[in-house]
Amino acid sequence: MKMLGSERGVIEEWLSEFKVLPEMQISNYAATLHRKKILVPALYKVIQDPNNEFLEPVCHQLFELYRSSEVRLKRFTLQFLPELIWVYLRLTVSKDRQSNGCIEALLLGIYNLEIADKDGNNKILSFTIPSLSKPSIYHEPSTIGSMALTEGALCQHDLIRVVYSDLHPQRETFTAQNRFEVLSFLMLCYNSAIVYMPASSYQSLCKMGSRLCVSGFPRQNEKCWKEDGCRVVLDPDFMVQLLTGIYYAVYNGQWELGQEALDDIIYRAQLELYSQPLLVANAMKNSLPFDAPDTSQGGQKVLKVEVTPTVPRISRTAITTASIRRHRWRREDGFDFSNDADMSIPGSPILHGSTDLGIKRKQEGDVLMLRIPEHGSPEPNLTPATREVAPRKAM
């Protein structure tokens, strides 16, 4: 793939300007790097051509950007990771295996930087196991009562169940045993920053998924791209990480490319009898909508989740026996005794603010207890000999 003169000039300028850049201007340089529209396509051409004269200095420059303290420079290098992995795996199974030395060094350099902290100690990756007893945006506890602040719940409040991943050792070279361990970890790093990647990186990710899965198989003849490629051995864990990134790309502008890559991964997983990527890919495919997501609005698209009311909101509005009893007491405490005489006269006018009258006979002598709701009126056909308002029985 030949490069244009303008592309060569952009790459030469990019290679030279960072070397003489003062430390104080790195942040400003990172903020303006994305404005160079010709630079990213030119770098893709260099990476795709293993015989390009700029490949080695470009890989060295990308590594220098990645190990800088500026996070935006790290993301700039990370956007080329899918293309770097594809070219590396393609050259690994080809006869020209000596041409991927600089790409291999770049991938190993990024891996060794990510597994160690600033002091050189290996990082311990951890995550918290979700608890069904605590609400989240995906679920609510089974019962409201389970969230009560009991003594047992308070004792378990500070206990966090954490699962630690295995330590990732540093690697000096790729072997058949550690190749996909390193590449799977690199894809994990890419997926953790995928929201910051440009559209060109999503396209490269989807194309890498399709080419890795169908190269050397009969399905390759159905593709519009005609590249001579051998079969690339794939790992189930690597395919799952690949699916994670493709699923995000499907909802962020790569509907057709993402679905094509998803179908190709299912095709390869069926041939290899890989249960884990097959399960994940089929679940993703069955969850996709019939039509492409609306891309008229800018910004990243995410899956819409209808958030149900949280437990505190439910508890404030729940109707319980205690709330009914308190409501009844408030109404009885507001009874107006000045209208008691009028109530003993048949056909008396309706009490102020009442439209209905509930009369409850109390089984203690011949005394009737009048219970007047908030809106009540006396019944005209009730004429007992004696009417008294019985004191409210203490609860």
In a domain, 177, yes or no: no
Backbone angles phi and psi of 17, in degrees to 5: -70, -30
In a domain, 337, yes or no: no
Q: Please give the pLDDT value at position 165.
A: 66
In sequence order, the 6+-apart residues with CB closer than 8 A to the CB of 389 are 335, 337, 340, 369, 370
In this structure, the answer to whether residues 12 and 114 fall within a common structural domain is: yes
Q: Please give the pLDDT value at position 18.
A: 86
Please say which residue of 103, 118, 133 terminates a domain: 118
Please say which residue of 229, 262, 295 terminates a domain: 295
In a domain, 322, yes or no: no
Count the domains in the chain: 2
For the chain, strand residue ranges (E) read 126-128, 162-164, 358-361, 368-371
Answer yes or no: is pLDDT of 258 > 50. yes
Q: Please give the pLDDT value at position 40.
A: 94
Q: Tokens 């400003």, residue?
A: 28
Rounded to the nearest integer, the mean pLDDT of the chain is: 77
pTM score, two decimals?
0.70
Q: Determine the Cα–Cα distance for residues 393 and 329; give it in Å rounded to an integer.
A: 11
In a domain, 364, yes or no: no
Answer yes or no: is pLDDT of 236 > 70. yes
In this structure, the answer to whether residues 110 and 203 fall within a common structural domain is: no
In a domain, 35, yes or no: yes
pLDDT band at 24 (very low <50, low <70, confident <90, very high): confident
In this structure, the answer to whether residues 112 and 5 fall within a common structural domain is: yes
| Residue of 127 and 261 predicted with greater confidence | 261
pLDDT digits (tens, 9 = 90+) for 189-204: 999 999 999 999 999 9
pLDDT digits (tens, 9 = 90+) for 85-119: 999 999 888 877 666 789 999 999 999 999 888 77
In this structure, the answer to whether residues 1 and 106 fall within a common structural domain is: yes
Answer yes or no: is pLDDT of 69 > 50. yes
pLDDT digits (tens, 9 = 90+) for 313-344: 545 555 666 666 666 666 656 555 555 444 44
Please say which residue of 275, 295, 315 terminates a domain: 295
Q: Determine the Cα–Cα distance for residues 244 and 284; give it in Å rounded to an integer.
A: 10
Query: Could you give the percent of the chain with pLDDT greater than 70?
Result: 61
In this structure, the answer to whether residues 6 and 113 fall within a common structural domain is: yes
Answer yes or no: is pLDDT of 389 > 60. no
Question: 61 near 14, Cβ under 8 Å?
Answer: yes
pLDDT band at 220 (very low <50, low <70, confident <90, very high): confident
In a domain, 151, yes or no: no
In a domain, 301, yes or no: no
- b (16+ CB within 10 A) / e for 188-212: bbbbeebeebeeebbbbbbbbbbbb
pLDDT digits (tens, 9 = 90+) for 355-383: 444 444 444 444 444 444 555 444 445 44
Q: Please give the pLDDT value at position 148.
A: 54
Question: 93 near 230, Cβ under 8 Å?
Answer: yes
Backbone angles phi and psi of 162, in degrees to 5: -125, 135
Q: Please give the pLDDT value at position 168.
A: 83
The residue segments making up the domain with residue 20 are 1-118
pLDDT digits (tens, 9 = 90+) for 130-164: 666 666 666 666 554 544 555 555 555 555 556 66
Q: Please give the pLDDT value at position 359.
A: 42
In sequence order, the 6+-apart residues with CB closer than 8 A to the CB of 20 are none
In a domain, 349, yes or no: no
Q: Determine the Cα–Cα distance for residues 233 and 218; give it in Å rounded to an integer.
A: 16
Answer yes or no: is pLDDT of 182 > 90. yes
